[in-house]
Copies of this chain bind each other. A is one copy, B any other.
Amino acid sequence: MTRVAACQISLSIENPAGNISHANQGIAEAISHGAQIIVLPELTNSGYVFTSVSEVQDRSTTLDGEIISQWKEIAHKNDVVIVAGLALSVESRLYNASVIIDKSGLLGWYAKAHLFGEEHQFFKSGEKPPLVVNTAHGRIATMVCYDVEFPEWVRLAMLDRAALLAVPTNWPNLGQLIHGTPMEAVRVQAAASVNKMVAVAADRSGPERGHSWISSSVITDFEGNIKIIANRESEDDVQVLVADVELPTDTSITPKNDVRKDRQPDLYSGILKY
């Protein structure tokens, strides 16, 4: 079994130092519970509700910046994997990114390819598939928030043999009615189920410039069953969900069926059309 954590933390664009402090509190708490894989929200360093590119720029980090250095040190010292969303500046371009770090260092970074709402104003969209890397604790894929609503994208992670999908997210409260499991979590369950991958989505909390969030971080097993889901009503700045999950070693779902091998890719060419 692998112990995984989703750190649901309060973020605010007005308080970048507070964001990092909440993130590091979350990581420390997850480590204290024995977590081996720790997932943080989208745009952990910045918050979300930007009004100008310079606000993003001011709050962004670089690949050799302080935050990633800190997390490399924490990952090295504690033998944990950290997956986190960051406003990232690479070669003077700003990305809504996710990084994967383990004890050996930064394993890669990913840029959100499906931008939501106003994000096009602030970020360049990614042009590479979901990042999938071997880590000290299993083969992990990452993508960011709205990306997971594109089943083609999730499929690419499975086809690249990910065992766990880590999704930093800021799920906006758009006034949607929530009865039972929020649809955001339902979509994560289905993504896990049809791809036989564990899924960990780390959402955020904290009101920001009149916007709020559904604060529904969730961890599922590889059949899509919810192992734990956040308490949406909590007012804590740091809420750490921890679950023990088995990482899949193949994609079979019955003795005769396999979600990978049963695909009929020769019939899917229409999916490339608009």
Contacts and interface: CB of A to CB of B under 8 A. Distances in A.
Interface of A: 113-114, 116-118, 125, 127-129, 146, 149-156, 159-160, 174, 176-177, 179-181, 183, 186-187, 189-191, 193-194, 223-225, 254, 256-257, 259-260, 262-265, 267-274
A265 B254 contact: no
Contact of A193 (B127, B186, B260): B186
Contacts of A225: 177, 179, 183
A217 to B, nearest CB: 18
B149 A194 contact: yes
Given A156-B268, A264-B113, A194 B187 contact: yes
29 contacts: A114-B263, A117-B257, A125-B264, A127-B267, A128-B267, A129-B270, A149-B194, A150-B194, A150-B263, A151-B155, A151-B194, A152-B271, A155-B271, A159-B273, A159-B274, A160-B270, A183-B193, A183-B225, A186-B186, A186-B190, A186-B224, A187-B190, A187-B193, A187-B224, A190-B191, A265-B273, A265-B274, A268-B271, A271-B272
Contacts of A254: 117, 174
Contacts of A267: 113, 127-129
B274 A263 contact: yes
A180 B183 contact: no
A156 B271 contact: yes
Contacts of A183: 189, 193, 223-225
Given A159-B273, A177-B225, 7 more contacts: A129-B267, A150-B264, A152-B263, A159-B271, A160-B270, A183-B225, A186-B189
B180 A117 contact: no
Contacts of A117: 254, 256-257
Contacts of A146: 257, 262
A84 B131 CA distance: 41
A262 B154 contact: no
Contacts of A224: 183, 186-187
A160 B180 CA distance: 31
A45 B260 CA distance: 31
A152 B152 CA distance: 7
Contacts of A191: 190
Contacts of A272: 265, 268-269, 271-272
A181 B181 contact: yes
Contacts of A259: 149
A219 to B, nearest CB: 15
